[in-house]
Structure 1
Amino acid sequence: MDLFDEGHSESLAIDDAEILLWRHVDFGEDKQLLERLIRETNWRQDRITLWGKSYLQPRLLAWHGDAGAEYSYSGITLAPEQWSDLLLDIKSKVEALSGASFNSVLVNYYRDHRDSMGFHADDEPELGAQPVIASVSFGEERRFVLKHRHRKDIENVVLLLPSSSLLLMAGETQKNWKHGIPKETRPRGPRVNLTFRTIITPS
Protein backbone atom coordinates (compact mmCIF):
# COMPACT_ATOMS: atom_id res chain seq x y z
CA MET A 1 0.00 0.00 0.00
CA ASP A 2 1.34 3.41 -0.93
CA LEU A 3 1.86 5.75 2.01
CA PHE A 4 0.03 8.58 0.27
CA ASP A 5 -2.99 6.50 -0.83
CA GLU A 6 -4.43 6.19 2.64
CA GLY A 7 -6.50 9.35 2.79
CA HIS A 8 -5.75 12.95 3.50
CA SER A 9 -5.16 14.69 6.78
CA GLU A 10 -8.08 16.36 8.54
CA SER A 11 -7.67 19.94 9.69
CA LEU A 12 -9.40 20.07 13.08
CA ALA A 13 -11.58 23.11 13.72
CA ILE A 14 -10.13 24.08 17.10
CA ASP A 15 -9.85 27.75 18.09
CA ASP A 16 -6.35 29.16 18.61
CA ALA A 17 -4.67 25.99 17.31
CA GLU A 18 -3.29 24.40 14.16
CA ILE A 19 -3.89 20.66 14.36
CA LEU A 20 -3.93 18.05 11.60
CA LEU A 21 -4.96 14.41 12.04
CA TRP A 22 -4.19 11.40 9.85
CA ARG A 23 -6.40 8.62 11.21
CA HIS A 24 -4.24 5.87 9.70
CA VAL A 25 -0.77 5.82 8.18
CA ASP A 26 0.83 2.68 6.76
CA PHE A 27 3.85 2.41 9.03
CA GLY A 28 3.64 -1.39 8.85
CA GLU A 29 1.74 -4.07 10.73
CA ASP A 30 0.40 -2.41 13.89
CA LYS A 31 0.79 -5.30 16.31
CA GLN A 32 4.34 -6.14 15.20
CA LEU A 33 5.42 -2.50 15.45
CA LEU A 34 3.96 -2.20 18.95
CA GLU A 35 5.70 -5.38 20.08
CA ARG A 36 9.03 -4.28 18.58
CA LEU A 37 8.87 -0.84 20.19
CA ILE A 38 8.12 -2.35 23.59
CA ARG A 39 10.81 -5.01 23.26
CA GLU A 40 13.61 -2.96 21.67
CA THR A 41 13.32 0.30 23.63
CA ASN A 42 15.51 0.99 26.66
CA TRP A 43 12.70 2.23 28.92
CA ARG A 44 13.19 4.46 31.95
CA GLN A 45 10.89 5.79 34.67
CA ASP A 46 12.02 9.08 36.17
CA ARG A 47 10.87 11.21 39.04
CA ILE A 48 9.63 14.66 38.08
CA THR A 49 9.18 17.71 40.28
CA LEU A 50 5.83 19.50 40.18
CA TRP A 51 4.92 22.33 42.55
CA GLY A 52 7.88 21.43 44.75
CA LYS A 53 6.97 17.74 45.10
CA SER A 54 8.61 14.71 43.51
CA TYR A 55 6.54 12.11 41.68
CA LEU A 56 7.32 8.89 39.81
CA GLN A 57 6.06 9.34 36.27
CA PRO A 58 2.96 7.17 35.61
CA ARG A 59 4.40 5.64 32.42
CA LEU A 60 7.74 4.55 30.94
CA LEU A 61 9.69 6.65 28.46
CA ALA A 62 12.76 6.94 26.25
CA TRP A 63 14.43 9.88 24.51
CA HIS A 64 16.18 9.45 21.14
CA GLY A 65 17.68 12.01 18.83
CA ASP A 66 20.63 13.60 17.11
CA ALA A 67 23.77 14.28 19.11
CA GLY A 68 23.31 17.29 21.38
CA ALA A 69 19.51 17.23 21.31
CA GLU A 70 19.03 17.37 25.07
CA TYR A 71 15.55 17.98 26.46
CA SER A 72 14.63 19.36 29.88
CA TYR A 73 11.23 19.43 31.57
CA SER A 74 9.80 19.17 35.11
CA GLY A 75 13.22 19.11 36.73
CA ILE A 76 14.83 16.39 34.59
CA THR A 77 17.20 16.56 31.61
CA LEU A 78 17.23 13.81 28.99
CA ALA A 79 20.34 13.11 26.91
CA PRO A 80 19.41 11.43 23.62
CA GLU A 81 20.03 7.79 22.86
CA GLN A 82 20.95 6.97 19.27
CA TRP A 83 18.23 6.50 16.68
CA SER A 84 17.21 2.92 15.99
CA ASP A 85 16.48 1.81 12.43
CA LEU A 86 12.81 1.39 13.38
CA LEU A 87 12.52 4.93 14.76
CA LEU A 88 14.28 6.37 11.72
CA ASP A 89 11.88 4.55 9.41
CA ILE A 90 8.84 5.90 11.28
CA LYS A 91 10.41 9.39 11.35
CA SER A 92 10.98 9.42 7.59
CA LYS A 93 7.31 8.64 6.92
CA VAL A 94 6.17 11.30 9.39
CA GLU A 95 8.43 13.88 7.75
CA ALA A 96 7.19 12.92 4.27
CA LEU A 97 3.57 13.40 5.29
CA SER A 98 3.98 16.49 7.45
CA GLY A 99 6.56 18.38 5.43
CA ALA A 100 8.46 19.06 8.67
CA SER A 101 11.82 17.74 9.85
CA PHE A 102 12.63 16.45 13.32
CA ASN A 103 15.83 15.76 15.26
CA SER A 104 14.42 13.97 18.31
CA VAL A 105 11.56 11.87 19.64
CA LEU A 106 10.05 11.26 23.07
CA VAL A 107 8.70 7.70 23.28
CA ASN A 108 6.04 7.04 25.93
CA TYR A 109 4.85 3.57 26.97
CA TYR A 110 1.40 3.38 28.56
CA ARG A 111 1.37 -0.14 29.97
CA ASP A 112 -2.33 -0.24 30.82
CA HIS A 113 -5.29 1.99 31.75
CA ARG A 114 -3.56 3.19 34.92
CA ASP A 115 -0.72 4.89 33.07
CA SER A 116 -1.32 8.50 32.07
CA MET A 117 0.10 11.89 31.07
CA GLY A 118 -0.87 15.02 33.02
CA PHE A 119 -1.93 18.24 31.34
CA HIS A 120 1.05 20.11 29.91
CA ALA A 121 2.20 22.13 26.90
CA ASP A 122 5.32 21.36 24.90
CA ASP A 123 6.54 24.93 25.27
CA GLU A 124 10.07 24.55 26.62
CA PRO A 125 12.51 27.18 25.26
CA GLU A 126 14.58 24.62 23.34
CA LEU A 127 11.51 23.81 21.20
CA GLY A 128 11.23 27.36 19.84
CA ALA A 129 8.36 29.84 19.72
CA GLN A 130 6.04 27.81 17.49
CA PRO A 131 7.07 24.17 17.80
CA VAL A 132 5.83 21.49 15.43
CA ILE A 133 5.01 18.30 17.33
CA ALA A 134 4.16 15.10 15.45
CA SER A 135 2.49 12.45 17.61
CA VAL A 136 2.27 8.82 16.39
CA SER A 137 0.31 6.19 18.32
CA PHE A 138 0.51 2.40 18.27
CA GLY A 139 -1.61 -0.03 20.25
CA GLU A 140 -4.65 0.67 22.40
CA GLU A 141 -6.81 3.66 21.53
CA ARG A 142 -6.69 6.30 24.26
CA ARG A 143 -8.34 9.66 24.88
CA PHE A 144 -6.20 12.68 24.03
CA VAL A 145 -7.64 15.70 25.86
CA LEU A 146 -6.93 19.33 24.95
CA LYS A 147 -7.60 22.11 27.48
CA HIS A 148 -7.39 25.81 26.59
CA ARG A 149 -4.81 27.66 28.68
CA HIS A 150 -6.50 31.08 28.73
CA ARG A 151 -10.18 30.90 27.79
CA LYS A 152 -12.80 29.42 30.12
CA ASP A 153 -15.50 29.73 27.44
CA ILE A 154 -13.91 27.00 25.31
CA GLU A 155 -14.71 23.43 26.31
CA ASN A 156 -12.10 20.71 26.44
CA VAL A 157 -11.54 18.85 23.18
CA VAL A 158 -11.37 15.04 23.35
CA LEU A 159 -9.78 13.10 20.48
CA LEU A 160 -9.56 9.33 20.17
CA LEU A 161 -6.18 8.40 18.72
CA PRO A 162 -6.28 4.97 17.06
CA SER A 163 -3.28 2.79 16.32
CA SER A 164 -1.09 4.10 13.46
CA SER A 165 -2.62 7.58 13.67
CA LEU A 166 -0.58 10.75 13.26
CA LEU A 167 -1.51 13.99 15.05
CA LEU A 168 0.38 17.15 14.05
CA MET A 169 0.32 20.22 16.33
CA ALA A 170 1.82 23.48 15.02
CA GLY A 171 1.56 27.27 15.11
CA GLU A 172 0.20 28.69 18.37
CA THR A 173 -1.15 25.36 19.64
CA GLN A 174 1.34 24.94 22.51
CA LYS A 175 0.95 28.61 23.48
CA ASN A 176 -2.82 28.31 23.79
CA TRP A 177 -3.54 24.69 24.72
CA LYS A 178 -2.43 22.03 27.16
CA HIS A 179 -2.91 18.35 26.44
CA GLY A 180 -2.86 15.09 28.35
CA ILE A 181 -3.78 11.40 28.43
CA PRO A 182 -6.04 10.68 31.44
CA LYS A 183 -6.25 7.42 33.34
CA GLU A 184 -9.10 5.10 32.32
CA THR A 185 -11.53 3.24 34.52
CA ARG A 186 -11.87 0.13 32.35
CA PRO A 187 -8.90 -2.09 31.49
CA ARG A 188 -6.83 -1.03 28.49
CA GLY A 189 -4.02 -2.75 26.65
CA PRO A 190 -0.56 -1.28 26.01
CA ARG A 191 0.00 1.85 23.93
CA VAL A 192 3.25 3.37 22.67
CA ASN A 193 3.25 7.00 21.58
CA LEU A 194 6.08 8.76 19.75
CA THR A 195 6.20 12.57 19.76
CA PHE A 196 8.71 13.82 17.19
CA ARG A 197 10.05 17.34 17.70
CA THR A 198 12.97 19.62 16.90
CA ILE A 199 15.35 20.72 19.63
CA ILE A 200 17.00 24.04 18.85
CA THR A 201 20.59 23.67 20.01
CA PRO A 202 22.75 26.71 20.82
CA SER A 203 24.90 27.77 17.88
Structure 2
Amino acid sequence: MSTSKLSPVFIEAEHIPLAGGGLHYYPQYIAEPDPLYEQLRENIPWQQPILDIYGRRHLTPRLVAFVGDSGLSYRYSGHRHYADVWPPEVLALRERIAEDTGYDFNCALLNYYRNGDDSMGYHSDDEASLGGDPCVASLSLGCGRDFLMKPKGLKTRSRKIHLASGSLLLMLPPTQRHWQHALPARKGLAQGRINITFRKVVLSLAD
Protein backbone atom coordinates (compact mmCIF):
# COMPACT_ATOMS: atom_id res chain seq x y z
CA MET A 1 0.00 0.00 0.00
CA SER A 2 1.36 3.43 -0.88
CA THR A 3 2.32 5.79 1.91
CA SER A 4 -0.02 8.44 0.51
CA LYS A 5 -3.04 6.30 1.35
CA LEU A 6 -1.90 6.23 4.98
CA SER A 7 -1.40 9.99 5.14
CA PRO A 8 -3.95 11.87 7.23
CA VAL A 9 -6.59 14.17 5.86
CA PHE A 10 -5.73 17.38 7.68
CA ILE A 11 -9.00 18.11 9.45
CA GLU A 12 -8.74 19.93 12.76
CA ALA A 13 -9.31 17.64 15.72
CA GLU A 14 -12.48 17.91 17.75
CA HIS A 15 -11.57 18.36 21.41
CA ILE A 16 -13.85 16.49 23.81
CA PRO A 17 -13.27 17.67 27.40
CA LEU A 18 -13.64 15.22 30.27
CA ALA A 19 -13.47 15.80 34.00
CA GLY A 20 -9.96 14.55 34.73
CA GLY A 21 -8.92 13.99 31.14
CA GLY A 22 -9.80 14.74 27.55
CA LEU A 23 -9.97 13.41 24.01
CA HIS A 24 -8.93 14.60 20.56
CA TYR A 25 -11.03 13.09 17.79
CA TYR A 26 -9.94 13.22 14.14
CA PRO A 27 -12.97 12.00 12.15
CA GLN A 28 -11.07 11.27 8.91
CA TYR A 29 -7.44 10.67 9.78
CA ILE A 30 -6.81 8.11 7.02
CA ALA A 31 -7.59 9.12 3.45
CA GLU A 32 -8.49 5.62 2.19
CA PRO A 33 -9.13 3.25 5.15
CA ASP A 34 -10.75 0.32 3.33
CA PRO A 35 -7.59 -1.16 1.68
CA LEU A 36 -5.74 -1.03 5.00
CA TYR A 37 -8.64 -2.75 6.75
CA GLU A 38 -8.68 -5.58 4.21
CA GLN A 39 -4.91 -6.00 4.27
CA LEU A 40 -4.73 -6.23 8.06
CA ARG A 41 -7.72 -8.53 8.25
CA GLU A 42 -6.10 -10.98 5.85
CA ASN A 43 -2.44 -10.77 6.90
CA ILE A 44 -2.32 -10.27 10.67
CA PRO A 45 -1.84 -13.55 12.65
CA TRP A 46 -4.98 -13.07 14.74
CA GLN A 47 -5.41 -14.96 18.00
CA GLN A 48 -8.31 -15.57 20.38
CA PRO A 49 -6.95 -15.97 23.92
CA ILE A 50 -8.83 -17.77 26.69
CA LEU A 51 -9.50 -15.58 29.73
CA ASP A 52 -10.10 -16.64 33.33
CA ILE A 53 -13.01 -14.61 34.73
CA TYR A 54 -14.11 -15.38 38.27
CA GLY A 55 -12.79 -18.91 37.97
CA ARG A 56 -14.41 -19.64 34.60
CA ARG A 57 -12.65 -19.79 31.25
CA HIS A 58 -14.00 -17.76 28.32
CA LEU A 59 -12.82 -17.07 24.80
CA THR A 60 -12.02 -13.42 24.24
CA PRO A 61 -15.04 -11.92 22.36
CA ARG A 62 -12.81 -10.63 19.53
CA LEU A 63 -9.52 -11.53 17.83
CA VAL A 64 -6.30 -9.83 18.92
CA ALA A 65 -2.67 -9.29 17.93
CA PHE A 66 0.19 -7.44 19.61
CA VAL A 67 3.04 -5.78 17.69
CA GLY A 68 5.89 -3.59 18.80
CA ASP A 69 9.58 -2.93 19.14
CA SER A 70 11.92 -5.92 19.40
CA GLY A 71 11.85 -7.75 22.73
CA LEU A 72 8.84 -5.84 24.06
CA SER A 73 6.19 -7.58 26.15
CA TYR A 74 2.91 -6.36 27.61
CA ARG A 75 0.63 -8.01 30.16
CA TYR A 76 -3.10 -7.45 29.73
CA SER A 77 -6.25 -9.48 30.42
CA GLY A 78 -4.25 -11.85 32.61
CA HIS A 79 -1.75 -12.87 29.93
CA ARG A 80 1.73 -11.74 28.96
CA HIS A 81 2.03 -11.06 25.24
CA TYR A 82 5.31 -10.74 23.35
CA ALA A 83 5.38 -8.33 20.46
CA ASP A 84 5.36 -9.53 16.88
CA VAL A 85 7.30 -7.45 14.37
CA TRP A 86 5.66 -4.23 13.20
CA PRO A 87 3.70 -4.61 9.93
CA PRO A 88 5.04 -1.87 7.62
CA GLU A 89 1.65 -0.12 7.38
CA VAL A 90 1.19 -0.03 11.15
CA LEU A 91 4.75 1.19 11.65
CA ALA A 92 4.09 4.01 9.15
CA LEU A 93 0.99 4.95 11.11
CA ARG A 94 2.92 5.02 14.37
CA GLU A 95 5.45 7.41 12.89
CA ARG A 96 2.76 9.66 11.39
CA ILE A 97 0.75 9.82 14.63
CA ALA A 98 3.89 10.67 16.61
CA GLU A 99 4.69 13.46 14.15
CA ASP A 100 1.15 14.87 14.28
CA THR A 101 0.47 14.57 18.02
CA GLY A 102 3.87 14.70 19.72
CA TYR A 103 3.23 11.37 21.46
CA ASP A 104 5.61 8.50 20.77
CA PHE A 105 4.55 4.84 20.96
CA ASN A 106 6.52 1.59 20.99
CA CYS A 107 3.75 -0.99 20.58
CA ALA A 108 0.20 -1.48 19.36
CA LEU A 109 -2.63 -3.80 20.32
CA LEU A 110 -4.89 -4.72 17.40
CA ASN A 111 -8.46 -5.89 17.93
CA TYR A 112 -10.56 -7.47 15.17
CA TYR A 113 -14.30 -7.34 15.83
CA ARG A 114 -15.61 -9.82 13.27
CA ASN A 115 -19.22 -8.64 13.55
CA GLY A 116 -21.56 -6.97 16.03
CA ASP A 117 -21.38 -9.92 18.43
CA ASP A 118 -17.72 -9.17 19.19
CA SER A 119 -17.21 -6.59 21.91
CA MET A 120 -14.96 -5.10 24.61
CA GLY A 121 -16.12 -4.64 28.21
CA TYR A 122 -15.45 -1.61 30.39
CA HIS A 123 -11.79 -1.19 31.35
CA SER A 124 -8.98 1.35 31.54
CA ASP A 125 -5.61 1.12 29.84
CA ASP A 126 -3.89 1.80 33.14
CA GLU A 127 -1.50 -1.13 33.52
CA ALA A 128 1.58 -0.27 35.58
CA SER A 129 3.83 -1.02 32.62
CA LEU A 130 2.31 1.97 30.76
CA GLY A 131 3.42 4.42 33.44
CA GLY A 132 1.36 6.78 35.57
CA ASP A 133 -0.55 8.75 32.93
CA PRO A 134 -0.36 7.10 29.50
CA CYS A 135 -1.62 8.52 26.25
CA VAL A 136 -3.41 5.99 24.03
CA ALA A 137 -4.08 6.58 20.33
CA SER A 138 -6.93 4.53 18.84
CA LEU A 139 -7.33 4.16 15.07
CA SER A 140 -10.56 2.66 13.66
CA LEU A 141 -10.95 0.77 10.37
CA GLY A 142 -13.96 -0.94 8.84
CA CYS A 143 -17.50 -0.61 10.15
CA GLY A 144 -18.14 2.31 12.49
CA ARG A 145 -18.99 1.38 16.08
CA ASP A 146 -20.12 3.20 19.22
CA PHE A 147 -17.43 3.81 21.86
CA LEU A 148 -18.63 4.33 25.45
CA MET A 149 -16.87 6.11 28.30
CA LYS A 150 -17.83 6.48 31.96
CA PRO A 151 -16.07 7.82 35.06
CA LYS A 152 -14.58 5.23 37.38
CA GLY A 153 -16.69 4.47 40.43
CA LEU A 154 -19.59 6.77 39.50
CA LYS A 155 -23.09 5.72 38.47
CA THR A 156 -23.57 8.19 35.66
CA ARG A 157 -24.69 7.79 32.06
CA SER A 158 -21.99 6.76 29.64
CA ARG A 159 -20.75 9.18 27.02
CA LYS A 160 -21.06 7.79 23.50
CA ILE A 161 -18.73 8.57 20.61
CA HIS A 162 -19.26 7.04 17.18
CA LEU A 163 -15.86 6.00 15.82
CA ALA A 164 -15.93 6.17 12.02
CA SER A 165 -13.67 4.20 9.69
CA GLY A 166 -10.36 6.01 9.25
CA SER A 167 -10.80 8.05 12.43
CA LEU A 168 -8.25 8.58 15.19
CA LEU A 169 -9.15 9.03 18.86
CA LEU A 170 -6.41 10.34 21.12
CA MET A 171 -7.08 9.63 24.82
CA LEU A 172 -4.98 12.24 26.58
CA PRO A 173 -3.40 11.98 30.04
CA PRO A 174 -4.74 11.54 32.69
CA THR A 175 -7.92 10.07 31.11
CA GLN A 176 -7.00 6.45 31.89
CA ARG A 177 -6.70 7.28 35.58
CA HIS A 178 -10.27 8.54 35.88
CA TRP A 179 -12.29 6.96 33.03
CA GLN A 180 -13.21 3.54 31.67
CA HIS A 181 -14.16 2.75 28.09
CA ALA A 182 -15.97 -0.04 26.25
CA LEU A 183 -17.13 -1.17 22.83
CA PRO A 184 -20.55 -2.82 23.32
CA ALA A 185 -22.02 -5.56 21.16
CA ARG A 186 -24.30 -4.48 18.33
CA LYS A 187 -26.70 -7.27 17.47
CA GLY A 188 -27.44 -7.89 13.82
CA LEU A 189 -24.31 -6.15 12.54
CA ALA A 190 -22.52 -8.32 9.96
CA GLN A 191 -19.59 -6.04 9.05
CA GLY A 192 -16.23 -6.19 10.80
CA ARG A 193 -14.02 -3.58 12.43
CA ILE A 194 -10.31 -3.40 13.24
CA ASN A 195 -9.04 -1.13 16.00
CA ILE A 196 -5.34 -0.31 16.45
CA THR A 197 -4.46 1.12 19.86
CA PHE A 198 -0.97 2.58 20.05
CA ARG A 199 0.66 2.56 23.48
CA LYS A 200 4.05 3.14 25.10
CA VAL A 201 5.32 0.47 27.48
CA VAL A 202 7.79 2.12 29.84
CA LEU A 203 8.47 -0.93 32.03
CA SER A 204 8.20 -4.62 31.07
CA LEU A 205 7.09 -6.13 34.38
CA ALA A 206 7.65 -9.83 35.11
CA ASP A 207 4.71 -12.20 35.58
TM-score normalised to structure 1 length: 0.93
Q: Distance in 2 between the 1:188 and 1:161 partners?
A: 17
1:86 aligns with 2:89: yes
Q: Please name the residue that 1:158 is paired with.
A: 160
User: For residues 144 and 72 of structure 1, what CA distance do their matches in structure 2 show?
Assistant: 23
Query: Could you list the runs of 5+ residues in structure 2 that have no partner in the other structure?
Result: none
Give the aligned partner of residue 197 of structure 2.
Answer: 195
Query: 2:39 and 2:204 mapped to 1: Cα distance?
Result: 34
2:131 alignment partner, one of 128, 131, 154: 128
Change over 3 Å in CA distance of 1:4–1:83 after alignment to 2: closer
Tell me, which stretches of 5 or more residues in structure 1 are unaligned?
none
**Bigger mean CA offset, 137-146 vs 2-11:** 2-11
Q: Is the 1:58–1:117 contact (alpha carbons within 8 Å) kept by the matching residues of 2?
A: yes
Among 58, 65, 72, the alignment partner of 2:61 is 58
What count of residue pairs does the alignment treat as equivalent? 201
**Amino acid in the other structure paired with 1:12:** I
Note if contact 1:50-1:74 (Cα within 8 Å) is conserved in structure 2.
Answer: no
Q: Is the 8 A contact 2:75 2:81 kept in 1?
A: yes
1:9 to 6, 13, 22: 13
Is 1:181 matched with 2:183? yes
The normalised TM-score by structure 2 is 0.91
| Aligned counterpart for 1:111 among listed residues 104, 111, 114 | 114
Secondary structure of 1:68 counterpart: coil
Alignment counterpart, residue 167 of structure 1, candidates 159, 166, 169: 169
CA RMSD of aligned residues (A): 1.8
Q: Distance in 2 between matches of 1:48 and 1:5?
A: 38
SS of corresponding position for 1:13: strand
User: Identity of aligned pairs, percent?
Assistant: 33
Secondary structure (helix, strand or coil) at the match of 2:169 reads strand
Q: Deviations over 1:37-85 (max 9, x none)?
A: 1011010000112233221101001000012321112221100001111
Contact 1:16 1:173 (C-alpha < 8 Å) held by counterparts: yes
1:25 aligns with 2:37: no
Are the aligned partners of 1:140 and 1:188 in contact in 2 as well (CA < 8 Å)? no
Stretches of 4+ moved more than 3 A in 1?
A: 1-5
Question: What secondary structure does 1:31 align onto?
Answer: helix
Question: Which aligned pairs between 1:142-157 and structure 2 lie closer than 5 A?
Answer: 142-152=145-155, 154-157=156-159
Is the CA contact 1:130–1:172 (under 8 Å) kept in the aligned structure 2? yes
More divergent stretch after superposition (128-137 vs 48-57): 48-57
The 1:185/1:202 distance shift into structure 2, 3 A limit, reads closer
Q: Deviations for 1:143-170, whole angstroms, at most 9, x for unmatched residues? A: 1011211333x42100000001000112
Matched residue of 1:187: which SS?
Answer: coil
